[in-house]
Amino acid sequence: MKAATIRDVAERAGVSVASVSRVLTGAGVVAEPTRSKVLEAVEALSYVPHSGARSLSTSRTDVIGVILPDLFGEFFSELIRGMDVACRAQGRHLIVSSSHDDAANAAAAIRSMRGRVDGLIVLSPHLDSGELTSSLSGRLPVLLMNGGDLDGQQPSMAVDNTGGARVAVEHLFSLGRRRIAHVGGPTGNLEARQRKQGYLDAVASAGAQPMLAQGEFTQASGFAAAARLLASDQRPDAIFAGNDAMAVGVLLAIQEAGLRCPEDIAVVGFDDVPIAELVRPGLTTLHIDIAGMGRRAVERLLTEIDDAAANSPQAANDAAREIIVPRLVVRQSCGASTSTQGFSGERP
Amino acid sequence: MKAATIRDVAERAGVSVASVSRVLTGAGVVAEPTRSKVLEAVEALSYVPHSGARSLSTSRTDVIGVILPDLFGEFFSELIRGMDVACRAQGRHLIVSSSHDDAANAAAAIRSMRGRVDGLIVLSPHLDSGELTSSLSGRLPVLLMNGGDLDGQQPSMAVDNTGGARVAVEHLFSLGRRRIAHVGGPTGNLEARQRKQGYLDAVASAGAQPMLAQGEFTQASGFAAAARLLASDQRPDAIFAGNDAMAVGVLLAIQEAGLRCPEDIAVVGFDDVPIAELVRPGLTTLHIDIAGMGRRAVERLLTEIDDAAANSPQAANDAAREIIVPRLVVRQSCGASTSTQGFSGERP
DNA sequence: CTGTTAGCGCCTTCAG
DNA sequence: CTGAAGGCGCTAACAG
């Protein structure tokens, strides 16, 4: 009743396991009669190689792991989709591990990946990210995303959050808004801090006063934060949200308060998740090619893995830090007088 | 430079590998002095067990695989999120494999999972799904989702698509709409066919004429299909889309055509993905607890796995087919005169 | 070209 | 309570 092993196949074909292995892996040369006998036995037993066993002896699993803090929202789904595409293209599998709110938790997850993956993509928007990979991964190829660049020599990718935020806020100022508020993400989140910093920078150089509200990167928290802002005696005339999910919450809060966007209050988000184009008014936001980022991350990790396997002295450019520069996408919510852009309906 | 193995730990601790294994797995009894010596060595070498090797000898991987046709859109991301939650709760990992458009492709993916997972959740909305699991999985626990129930004894879950579609269409008729069109999903997709069937049933029993347009379950295809429908000489006064993504496309097409929804044309979708609540007008649709479904699927597969391990004669209720009945959620797009529901902003 | 034989890293009887 | 030894299923030299 148990699944057939390579030995069963060898026996039935009247050859050695080595020969079976040879025809199945394609390595080495096999005489035609042998090959067909093997194939026949494989067919008869409907044999499928046990990848776990294979991994143990080749010490490569063909799977890469992704450690991420959460799985909520469109950002992560787009990211994973991009990674999956790249993996498939390379015959790899993707194993995901999420909901790692704190560093200790993430560390445990990383450890539990040993022997299960060939490399890791770690999204740790926590402050203590550097320590994570350096100390915890016993020489497992790792690609850091959106984390701190503590040692500077770890292969990594990151979005220029500060710069993006600055662009957003400057855009609002250029549109004549003066009282620009910011709904920030979780304080423990590095990206949230960077975006907030960009906001503060822009506000400072405009000689304006900052107005801050605290959110959690979720739609509901954006709604709540905006409600607080709107209730204040000095109501803002624009709100820059730390991400699109919160921006959508802000939009809803404005609506609920009987105010109009962009007339009364302009709104700008960050990320350009698919939904940003669909809400009314269309959300002005900073575009990131999220899926593309995921794809690219996998590709980089894969070359890192290959280099490690080839024992080449880690090609210099592997260790670089790649910066993704977000691009401002102007829709209706910021009140810019662009020609009213119709929806394309072109999203797949 | 290589990672430490259990042998290194044993050596350093001055004990046998068996003892190390005992303290690490918690199985068997170990004297206190031995235990602490081991722990100390583990710490010093920052040893982490190799899960691949462990899997081979225990023949359990603690990971479950998910085979799905695609990774596009909110439906799949919600589903995966639900699965991930359940997996984490049970200390399991999730390995995903997507983009299996045809059966052969999916079959290959399933095979490649042997030795990598303890069980499989297969989403195969293709017509030839039954064959897949029966022939291809050599006694690997499998849970079928939204696939055909060919043998009837395979553990499975499915949405009542036909019934849900009927409810949607009947609702539109009850609102006074008479010329109700349907934008269907891919013809090869079982769920798409079932929803279409429900539409046809409802139209027939209302004595009306069906109007069909073909889509691909994507927003863009919904947009295109609706455009065609709107251009026809007998323009519909309502459109029931095969899923929410297409419904959103329909909404955009109506807008683009200078028509109003729901006044001129009512729209109803299917799935109730998060975005359905956010588009304007709010999309009336059939609600499915997608994440909950994913969670439940994992739970069922896990008990299936446990039963298989315990060699218990596959508990009878394991093999049941579980039907999820979607619930109509009325928002604005269908034109029902409900009290204008404000947005809650409560989505996380 | 093919078969034999070690491992890969770990768990697990089975004696001691 | 502990250690020695035999696998788990497969690949990879190394001899024939």
For position A63, what pLDDT does the model report? 97
A284 domain residue, yes or no: yes
Q: What is the mean pLDDT of residues A98-117?
A: 86
Which ranges of chain B would DSSP assign to H, the alpha helix? 6-13, 17-25, 32-45, 51-58, 73-89, 103-111, 129-136, 161-174, 190-205, 219-231, 244-256, 290-309
Residue corresponding to tokens 């001129």: B264
For the CA of A143 and the C1' of C12, the distance in angstroms is 37
Q: Which residue has the higher pLDDT, B283 or B104?
A: B283
Residue A325, burial from CB neighbour count under 10 angstroms (0-12, 13-18, 19+): exposed
Are A294 and A146 part of one and the same domain? yes
The amino acid present at A149, given as its one-letter code, is D
CATH of the domain at A212: 3.40.50.2300
Search chain A and give the residue with CA nearest B67.
A93
Both A283 and A194 in a single domain?
Answer: yes
Distance from residue A58's CA to nucleotide D12's C1', rounded to whole Å: 9
Helix pair angle (A244-256, A73-89), 10° resolution: 150
Summarised one tens digit per residue, pLDDT across range A145-169 is: 987 665 567 888 999 999 999 999 9
Average pLDDT over residues B100-113: 84
Specify the pLDDT at position A188.
85
B348 lies in some domain: no
Nearest CA of chain B to the CA of A217: how many Å? 9
Quick check: A88 contacting B, CB < 8 Å? Answer: yes
Confidence of residue A213 (pLDDT cuts 50, 70, 90): very high
pLDDT on residue A230? 96
Q: Are A197 and A334 in the same domain?
A: yes
The span from the CA of A190 to the CA of A147, in Å, is 7
pLDDT single digits (tens) B47-73: 999 999 999 999 999 999 999 988 888
* Of residues A1, A224, A346, nearest to B220 (C-beta): A346
Q: What is the mean pLDDT of chain B?
A: 89
pLDDT class for B189, splitting at 50, 70, 90?
A: confident
**Per-residue pLDDT tens digits for A4-33:** 999 999 999 999 999 999 999 988 888 998
Same domain for B331 and B199: yes
Cα separation, B254 vs B256, whole angstroms: 5
Min Cα distance B344 → chain A (Å) is 8
Specify the pLDDT at position A343.
Answer: 46
Domain-located, residue A348: no
For residue A291, CA distances in Å to A189, A220, A288, B269 come to 21, 25, 9, 26
Cβ of B15 near strand D (under 7 Å)? The reply is yes
C-alpha distances out from residue A177 to A166, A198, A326, B267, B331, Å:
14, 17, 22, 38, 34
In this predicted structure, the answer to whether residue A1 has a pLDDT above a threshold of 50 is yes
Q: Is residue A1 part of a domain?
A: no
> CB contact, 8 Å: A260 with chain B?
no
On whether both B175 and B214 belong to a single domain, the answer is: yes
Say what the pLDDT of residue A310 is: 77
Of A99, A115, A274, the CB nearest to B52: A115
pLDDT at A54 over 80: yes
Please report the pLDDT score of residue A301 as a whole number. 95
A172/A269 same-domain check: yes
- Residue A347 domain flag: no
CATH code at position A36:
1.10.260.40
pTM of structure = 0.90
B4 to chain A, any CB pair closer than 8 A? The answer is yes
CB of B193 nearer than 7 A to strand D:
no
- Listed in sequence order, the residues at least 6 apart from B253 whose beta carbon sits closer than 8 Å to its beta carbon are A345, B222, B223, B224, B226, B227, B230
Same domain, residue pair B233 and B336: yes
Please report, rounded to whole angstroms, the spatial distance between the CA atom of protein residue A20 and the C1' atom of nucleotide D3.
36
CA–CA dist A189, B5 (Å, integer): 35
The per-residue pLDDT for B343 is: 47
Q: What are phi and psi of A123, to 5 degrees?
A: -105, 100
Distances (CA, A) of B199 to A236, B59, B211, B237, B248: 49, 47, 10, 15, 19
pLDDT for res B336: 84
Quote the minimal CA–CA distance from B325 to chain A in Å: 25
Whether residue A339 has pLDDT greater than 60: no
The answer to whether B61 contacts chain A (CB < 8 Å) is yes
Question: What pLDDT is stored for residue B104 in this prediction?
Answer: 80
Return all residues near A108 (Cβ < 8 A) that are at least 6 apart.
Answer: none
The answer to whether residues B281 and B210 belong to one domain is yes
- The answer to whether residue A170 is domain-embedded is yes
Whether B265 and B244 share a structural domain: yes
The domain of B22 spans: 6-58
Q: Which residue has the higher pLDDT, B274 or A125?
A: B274
Residues B169 and B260 placed together within one structural domain of the fold: yes
Q: Give residues 45-74 of chain B lying near strand C (Cβ < 7 A).
A: 47, 49-50, 53-54, 56-58
Indicate whether B186 and B148 sit together in one domain: no
Q: Give the number of other Cβ atoms within 10 Å of residue A28's Cβ.
A: 10
Q: Shortest CA distance to B290 belongs to which of B110, B73, B65?
A: B73
Whole-number average pLDDT of chain A:
89
Q: What is the pLDDT of residue A137?
A: 56
Q: What is the DSSP letter of A115?
A: T
Specify the number of domains making up chain A.
3
Q: Residue A199 and residue A100: Cα distance in Å, rounded? A: 27
Q: Which of B219, B199, B221 is nearest to B208 (CA)?
A: B199
Domain membership of residue B345 (yes or no) is no
pLDDT category, B212, cuts 50, 70, 90?
very high
Count of all residues that appear for chain B in the document: 348
Is residue B86 situated within a structural domain? yes
The residue-averaged pLDDT of B26-54 equals 91
Pick the more confident residue, B99 or B282.
B282
pLDDT over 90, % of chain A: 69
In chain B, residues with a C-beta closer than 8 Å to the C-beta of A66 are none
pLDDT reported for residue A318: 62
- Does one domain contain both B202 and B267? yes
